[in-house]
Structure 1
């Protein structure tokens, strides 16, 4: 990573972008493997498997079916689904038509899905019915009709909206939108992130450069493909690098443990909460999680604690790598390197071809992380005002995350600028308090938010307790006092049965703050 001069008011290292997409569209990335490894399994789930040659046929056939339905280039097509072979086929088939995929997790509420369909101006909505009762319920409630497509399976198809206006089709993959990803973000308001074909293909390229996914790898696919982390690492990464992905619609610790052996998984992607629960399950059941095939494990989507990293490496016998990204960056920005594993919980250096720097540094050396490069979104759909607030005139995306950059280039995320709790004039970073809480033996995971009081803000901690254990609050507070300054100590520690989380496993702090303000917690 090279250093270049930073604009006034900014500081930090950058790298020089040089990436040029090899293909024009996502579905084309599998072409080399269709030619060279036609019989290798590309995508599979509990019901079916498609080899690369079969996936190519499935994508072509399904694209024709969609076109016959009335889907055109520039149309938005909502997919209410969970991870499956059929979902992957639809995503690639929409790429072949230059239509925009709008993947939506079936576990969202009816109101949320209705809002997305309306905001996107969807031409048609498809509800995948294979093992997903929620998707079927949504489809039936909205009057969709039953169908069965050869390469997709059972689904419900909405009426075609004849009033839907297609967006212009751009030949340039850096301008043509591939996917529209809806995110609540940490601020609560729904936003639709436009990710281009080049954005997503860059992630496949980045995976390959860093030996994260290579030909013959077997990748576990449990992260929701309706979220950018799942979309990038469970579809784009594997099919563009000749790997096999095993889709699982719902995370269950026992299913992961079984798949490690039965599927001889080599690459594992997950969020910290997922890893914490599978480790706990392994301990409770006396089940070893070590397998000779697994060579790479990656954590992302939420802060990783030193305690969890150590527990994972002890349980699985391999290094747990860490990374940082966001929906608006497709998602990868920083990544620890396979060849240089780290003992700490930094997210590693910036990935090649992406630039980063810090906005006006605070007294502690942190600053808002700014990102520029081929991973940065096209913008927010139908929100040019919000896009202009987020991406400045020089192309820097303002992440809203506070970071520090070590002399060796490693980045540590210390919090969100909007989540800082100002207690008695001191800045309290929730992640720091959560790290200390999560290190306590009885705490499975935690979330820390601020609560406004007269002339001040209080630190409020919510904790989820490990199965079979109880929380000794006096012991926990004594534990915290050894690790935190007095002004960082929680005013209250509240035990909850389960922290609210998105399907990706990300804890929904906005919901906690809303419930706290409403007096519902």
Structure 2
């Protein structure tokens, strides 16, 4: 049973806490008992029982479970022939595709660590990952995207066959790198190394074990009542933790994963109407652009087809967008919260208990949470503090950064997410990032609240609020992207928010932009906006 730890001083409350801990451990143990040792093993039952059932579809091909198993075997053999050893790090530069999925799971078969990198990264960013990880080789799916092909050329990686796949760029062999030790237990063996820059810009390698990924995938699949009849639309990049988790959980239940190379709202609308998609996961921008497409294409209505569940994570969801999406598609839009370091699932709104607010739902089974004040005390009663979590989903640590790991995970296993949150009963609300909190005239100001109010203006596509240092204080600056063709001005937006916000929460300045800087998943890069104010 998922639960929130709280400050309980009476004997009765202490006893309740002990019962909660037992329930938490029981939930975790029940899930862990049924997990395989490695992520590639999730498909094995279906190779044996439903070999002719479709497993993967991309823009160019499809594979049954039997064909996928054979492709994995051939790909693993090819990697072995290219001197990839157990414990090596391998960088896979690719958009979502069947070749990428096979390279990822083939690395698992060899006990190598997969580093999936988005082809839209710059050469500098890829160099940082290569150098920090000590990767044995880099692989580029040149046929899948022009960006991957360009990187292959830049790294002088000739195109060759790798197992059943052709036109894979293969870099030279790093003979100096050392393989990491191999752990038989999935709790100790790293499956993927995900590089995240966070707000600092310096890349950190998040070590996620096989157990981390499998636990998170299993809990999410269970909460979504996934079966072999589902078709998952996997548009979030596999270079991101959510994409890896979606792929793993779908194969775990013997269902179909529809791999999408690049997001196109017109293609999504067509897939919903014609391809039997039952599950859709996105970031708020995924849904925002889908609604924009409907408007610009002059469609009367979007057809939802077989869609039974849609969810959103990765960025704050404003209530106005949620209401518009739900009205259009006739289904609840389930909000969820996760973080790379937690593989990623922490909480989610249950399909059977939809909400009309911006709560990120209740904790997933087997995960503990506590809210910690700035002075280190545990707070309750809806108070805001830092969210700390603990469970089998928490990363092994940051690669080659024991100091950063020690700062993030305490000796008792509590991971500090760096997010500000509060609970209303079992429902969790994310207020913002600790580092994003603005202290204005002595008052704590949470950007998410201001962003939610700005987003109620009908012409606002998305917005981001950051702080700007001024002598003796901080100012609030809002960056706003408007609908194309909108005539709204910054003054109009100021007038819109003024009645809804107390004086110290109102922006000092609103800056209109054609587009806000974002990652490939649509997550806004607030640190770049903050940096622009210092230049």
User: Partners of 2:262 and 2:53 in 1: how far apart?
Assistant: 25
Shift of the 117–3 alpha-carbon distance from structure 1 to 2, 3 Å rule, reads closer
Q: Secondary structure at the match of 2:403?
A: helix
What is aligned with 1:317? Answer: 330
Q: Note if contact 2:382-2:424 (Cα within 8 Å) is conserved in structure 1.
A: no
Q: Does residue 155 of structure 1 match 2:168?
A: yes
What is aligned with 1:386? Answer: 404
Match of 1:32 among 45, 48, 53: 45
What is aligned with 2:269? Answer: 257
Q: Does residue 337 of structure 1 match 2:347?
A: no
Q: Secondary structure at the match of 2:500?
A: coil
User: Partners of 1:363 and 1:187 in 2: how far apart?
Assistant: 33
Q: Note if contact 1:125-1:157 (Cα within 8 Å) is conserved in structure 2.
A: yes
Deviation string for 1:92-117 (max 9, x for gaps)?
00000000000000000000001100
Deviation string for 1:439-489 (max 9, x for gaps)?
110100001111101111110000111122232333322220121111111
Q: Secondary structure at the match of 1:273?
A: helix
Deviation string for 1:244-278 (max 9, x for gaps)?
11111111111111111221211001000111111
What is aligned with 2:430? Answer: 413
What is aligned with 1:195? Answer: 208
Q: Note if contact 1:127-1:135 (Cα within 8 Å) is conserved in structure 2.
A: yes
- Following superposition, the deviation at residue 23 of structure 1 comes to 0.6
User: Partners of 2:5 and 2:234 in 1: how far apart?
Assistant: 41
Match of 2:509 among 466, 479, 492: 492
Query: Which 10-residue stretch deviates more, 372-381 or 358-367?
Result: 358-367
What is aligned with 1:445? Answer: 462
- Following superposition, the deviation at residue 152 of structure 1 comes to 3.1
- Following superposition, the deviation at residue 326 of structure 1 comes to 0.3
Q: Note if contact 1:445-1:464 (Cα within 8 Å) is conserved in structure 2.
A: yes
Match of 1:502 among 519, 527, 534: 519
- Following superposition, the deviation at residue 393 of structure 1 comes to 0.5
Query: Which 10-residue stretch deviates more, 449-458 or 183-192?
Result: 183-192
Q: Secondary structure at the match of 2:435?
A: coil
Shift of the 63–318 alpha-carbon distance from structure 1 to 2, 3 Å rule, reads same
Shift of the 363–208 alpha-carbon distance from structure 1 to 2, 3 Å rule, reads closer
User: Partners of 2:164 and 2:334 in 1: how far apart?
Assistant: 35
Q: Does residue 67 of structure 1 match 2:80?
A: yes
- TM superposition outliers: structure 1 runs of 4+ over 6 Å: 11-14
Shift of the 317–54 alpha-carbon distance from structure 1 to 2, 3 Å rule, reads same
TM-score (norm 2): 0.93
Q: Secondary structure at the match of 1:446?
A: strand
Q: Secondary structure at the match of 1:482?
A: helix
Q: Does residue 434 of structure 1 match 2:451?
A: yes
- Following superposition, the deviation at residue 400 of structure 1 comes to 0.7
What is aligned with 1:473? Answer: 490
Q: Secondary structure at the match of 1:476?
A: helix
Q: Does residue 351 of structure 1 match 2:392?
A: no
> Cα RMSD (Å) of the superposition?
1.8
- Following superposition, the deviation at residue 8 of structure 1 comes to 8.9
- Following superposition, the deviation at residue 318 of structure 1 comes to 0.7
TM-score (norm 1): 0.96
Shift of the 321–5 alpha-carbon distance from structure 1 to 2, 3 Å rule, reads closer
Match of 2:417 among 388, 399, 416: 399
Q: Does residue 124 of structure 1 match 2:142?
A: no
User: Partners of 2:398 and 2:8 in 1: how far apart?
Assistant: 27
Match of 1:376 among 394, 403, 406: 394
User: Partners of 2:127 and 2:342 in 1: how far apart?
Assistant: 26
Q: Note if contact 1:204-1:241 (Cα within 8 Å) is conserved in structure 2.
A: no
Deviation string for 1:19-59 (max 9, x for gaps)?
31521100001111111211111111110001111001111
Kindly tell me the number of residue pairs found equivalent between the two proteins: 515
Q: Does residue 275 of structure 1 match 2:260?
A: no
User: Partners of 1:184 and 1:4 in 2: how far apart?
Assistant: 29
Shift of the 5–156 alpha-carbon distance from structure 1 to 2, 3 Å rule, reads closer
Q: Note if contact 2:5-2:369 (Cα within 8 Å) is conserved in structure 1.
A: no
Q: Note if contact 1:334-1:347 (Cα within 8 Å) is conserved in structure 2.
A: yes
What is aligned with 1:102? Answer: 115
Q: Does residue 49 of structure 1 match 2:62?
A: yes
What is aligned with 1:206? Answer: 219
Match of 1:425 among 442, 452, 457: 442
User: Partners of 2:313 and 2:398 in 1: how far apart?
Assistant: 23
User: Partners of 1:243 and 1:468 in 2: how far apart?
Assistant: 42
- Following superposition, the deviation at residue 211 of structure 1 comes to 2.6
Query: Which 10-residue stretch deviates more, 359-368 or 319-328?
Result: 359-368
Q: Note if contact 2:99-2:165 (Cα within 8 Å) is conserved in structure 1.
A: yes
